[in-house]
Structure 1
Amino acid sequence: MKITRIETFLVPPRWLFVRIETDEGAVGWGEASLEGRSETVRTAVEQLAEVLLGQDPLRIQDHWQVMMKGSFYRGGPVLSSAVSGLDQALWDIAGKIAGLPVHTLLGGPVRDRIRMYGWVGGDEPNEIADAISERLEQGLTAVKMNASGRFARIANNRDIDGIIGRVVAAREVLGDTGDVGVDFHGRITMPNARRIIPELEPMRPMFVEEPTTPENSHLLGQLTQGTSIPIATGERLYSRNEFLPVLQAGISIAQPDLSHAAGISEVHRIASLAEIFDAQLAPHCPLGPIALASCLQIGFAVPNYFIQEQSIGIHYNQDGEVLDYLADTTVFDIRDGFIERLQAPGLGIDIDEAAVRKADERGHAWRGPVWRHTDGSFAEW
């Protein structure tokens, strides 16, 4: 069996799908989405296709080595995202050929269902309450909210109180059994984080996410040692090498992105690394159906899997929705806060190829906003 064709599809709202076809008719799908840079990743996939075409699709780990290390210059989000999509597609093919879901190929299931959460905004207290109520009606029992929008380098009391007030409002809706994660999104400087995190302690959030930018990960130990709130990070880390120092700094939850961190192969290894530090895995995934399915396949196979993000019904899904690209949407049904174990071969989903090809005709050119502080200087988004 040989790889004969590799295609990419730029589908709304901001995703990049990858399709690998073999000479025996087996087809695998992956997702190489890199928000704001998907066109660049598309070119990277086309370049990597040069080393895959004509090769045996089942030599997944060898292909991963060549794609990640075959060039003298390595790493970074563009290369790792391109490899992610191709790696997912190769695992999808392997599972379909074997007639087994990917989690079985990874050693078999360790759980029957995975708890899910969704994003709910984070601007006004009354909006938070309404958004959480909608998520609870969707079947979720956990949510994540932004701590703030644009945030001053050294915040005033009103801004800090605003964050605390919104988390209090979230806790009131969720009660004692629901959970809320608070995403700092790298927007909040270390001086602000030191002031805000202790004040969140009484609300007992599920975690505080990305309390500093990834380039300042060396500062995380100052936060993890000063709070009982689990600290989470990792959506902008792309390898186990990059996860090692933040795990050593004491984070509780690792959040690799299956479409950024070099795919199923590398995230499976990141999970094992995290287990050594008694850290849980909760992959970042405000993305499409293929990325979500890949996350779930990892989740069913690794013991230290905590919870899974998903973007069904998220605010930015205006031109394309997760379920739009599935022939069977029931695989992602959420019941009592959980998705049941995927049973079908490969990634466990059936992609609606006609819908994908039609969406690619529209394409997208999604870009993240550029924010500025009141003095005109650049602000983290």
Structure 2
Amino acid sequence: MKITDVKTFLVHDRERPSRNYTFVKIYTDEGLTGLGEAGVTGRELAVQGMVESFAPILRGMDPSRIEHIWQTLWRGHFFRGGHVHSAAVAAIDIALWDLRGKALGVPVYDLLGGLTRDYARCYCHVQRAGGEGPRGGIDAMVEYAKKQVQEGWEFIRFGVGEGSNENRAGVYEQARAVRWTVEAFGALRDAVGPEIEIAVDFHQRTTPPYAIQLARELQPMRPFFVEDPLRAENPAEFAYLRQHISVPIATGEQLPSKWDWRDLIEQDLMDYCRVDLCICGGLTEARKVAGWCEAHYIEQVPHNPLGPVSTAACLHFDLSTPLFAVQELTWRPEILADIVKTDMRLEGGNLYSGGSPGLGVELDDEAALANPYQMAGLHILRRDDNSVSDW
């Protein structure tokens, strides 16, 4: 079998106008295809350009040589790495695993060592807009969270200040965000009880003093983890943070390669690994990061704000990974259902694979082309003085 072509499909989400998806499809001379997805939201055109630069290299290659192709795309250039590069490699790599599973007639999790669990438990995002006054969207968030729990979700997540009125207006002031978040967490804990796990995403917006303050105030209410309290590219600051807080830390969704994980893993600076398969080199690279984490008892919580192909890749990773905690899930079965067919099923807060060959996903090329990319622009947060805040 040989690769005959590689195509990128940039698909606009009609229901969420600010969202586009980057799908990569690999075609072969035997008629089988593989499907992947890239991350780095907002950089879709750059990823498409990178994939196009790889296409002439890939044509004629044996798609079963997944590791060899990964090494070729990553190391076969003088300049390596970067998020656009790694996201393009990730989409191609995921497509190759999908293709290999289809060629052998087995699900990808079988290729990764087989099932270590029957399903992946997931967490949903519960922050909601709505409401006036200083409470902002707290009441709306609490009501939505209660509904999700009634439907079977055991893990929920919200972001620091994300449901507040000022955040919706594009303003992020740390002190006010901290106060809002403490109040919001307390309201959620009171509403859903002690057995439901609540994660809080700091989204890299807090400086160390505010991260420490917020983590300490949340600690008595028992967060499952605090996510990205600081930007992950400076692990030394996580060592500083470790000295001052005792709540579990999750981080890493922005890291593009295994080399960027080294200090966080080897110095035990995190408790949960937020690897993003569609940014960090695909399944090939994520498996290496997970194996490294296993030696340090760090569980996997894959980052997944993307579409059905990313979700399928995460699911097969989760099902075959020994140390797995919970899966972020924003995808729902109705999202892009006319464009990407999938065998996944969601029951309450648990995600199941149908066991189809490959990842269990198929792209309708014509339907994808009928929903072309639309430039969404940047979502910028600013502080009161109009300076830029981390998004």
Same fold per TM (> 0.5)?
yes
Q: Does 1:380 align with 2:387?
A: no
3-state SS in 1 of match to 2:153: coil
CA distance in 2, matches of 1:340, 1:172: 30
Q: Does 1:3 align with 2:13?
A: no
1:98 maps to amino acid: L
Q: Which runs of 5+ in 1 are unaligned?
A: 315-319
3-state SS in 1 of match to 2:362: coil
Kept in 2: contact 1:119–1:145 (CA 8 A): yes
1:47 maps to amino acid: S
3-state SS in 2 of match to 1:297: helix
Change over 3 Å in CA distance of 1:342–1:230 after alignment to 2: farther
CA distance in 1, matches of 2:24, 2:207: 37
CA distance in 1, matches of 2:58, 2:150: 45
Q: Which runs of 5+ in 2 are unaligned?
A: 13-18, 129-135, 162-166
Equivalences for residues 255-334 of structure 1 within 5 A = 255-312=274-331, 321-328=335-342, 331-334=343-346
CA distance in 1, matches of 2:322, 2:155: 20
CA distance in 2, matches of 1:30, 1:113: 21
Change over 3 Å in CA distance of 1:322–1:33 after alignment to 2: farther
Change over 3 Å in CA distance of 1:131–1:367 after alignment to 2: farther
Q: Does 1:169 align with 2:191?
A: no
Kept in 1: contact 2:304–2:329 (CA 8 A): yes
Change over 3 Å in CA distance of 1:214–1:170 after alignment to 2: same
1:128 maps to amino acid: M
Equivalences for residues 191-270 of structure 1 within 5 A = 191-247=209-265, 248-270=267-289
CA distance in 2, matches of 1:138, 1:68: 43
2:149 maps to amino acid: L
**Shift of residue 137 of structure 1?**
4.8
CA distance in 1, matches of 2:78, 2:120: 39
Kept in 2: contact 1:44–1:78 (CA 8 A): yes
2:104 maps to amino acid: A
Q: Which moved more, 1:173-182 or 1:103-112?
A: 173-182
Q: Does 1:136 align with 2:157?
A: no
> Which of 83, 98, 111 matches 2:117?
111
**Shift of residue 322 of structure 1?**
4.7
**Shift of residue 354 of structure 1?**
3.7
2:278 maps to amino acid: S
**Shift of residue 239 of structure 1?**
1.3
Q: Which moved more, 1:112-121 or 1:82-91?
A: 112-121
TM-score for both structures, normalised by structure 1: 0.92
CA distance in 1, matches of 2:46, 2:201: 27
CA distance in 1, matches of 2:268, 2:95: 34
**Shift of residue 112 of structure 1?**
0.7
3-state SS in 2 of match to 1:257: coil
Q: Which moved more, 1:276-285 or 1:367-376?
A: 367-376
Q: Which moved more, 1:300-309 or 1:371-380?
A: 371-380
- Structure 1 stretches of 4+ with a deviation exceeding 6 A read none
CA distance in 2, matches of 1:182, 1:234: 15
Kept in 1: contact 2:308–2:331 (CA 8 A): no
CA distance in 2, matches of 1:159, 1:366: 26
CA distance in 1, matches of 2:310, 2:207: 30
Residue in 2 aligned with 1:317?
none
CA distance in 2, matches of 1:273, 1:131: 37
**Shift of residue 324 of structure 1?**
4.3
Residue in 1 aligned with 2:88?
82
Residue in 2 aligned with 1:127?
140
**Shift of residue 348 of structure 1?**
2.1
Kept in 1: contact 2:98–2:358 (CA 8 A): yes
Report % sequence identity. 35
Kept in 1: contact 2:160–2:177 (CA 8 A): no
Provide the aligned length of Structure 1 versus Structure 2. 369
Q: Does 1:145 align with 2:166?
A: no
CA distance in 2, matches of 1:215, 1:203: 29
**Shift of residue 73 of structure 1?**
0.7
**Shift of residue 234 of structure 1?**
0.8
Kept in 2: contact 1:100–1:345 (CA 8 A): yes
3-state SS in 2 of match to 1:306: coil
2:248 maps to amino acid: P
How far does the alpha carbon of each residue in 1:113-152 deviate from its partner, in whole angstroms, 9 at most, with x for none? 1101111226522021122134335542211101114433
3-state SS in 2 of match to 1:205: coil
RMSD after superposition:
1.9
Residue in 2 aligned with 1:183?
201
How far does the alpha carbon of each residue in 1:175-225 deviate from its partner, in whole angstroms, 9 at most, with x for none? 122111100001111110111101101111111000011233320122234
CA distance in 1, matches of 2:230, 2:336: 29
CA distance in 1, matches of 2:273, 2:317: 13
Kept in 1: contact 2:249–2:270 (CA 8 A): yes
Equivalences for residues 41-120 of structure 1 within 5 A = 41-120=47-126
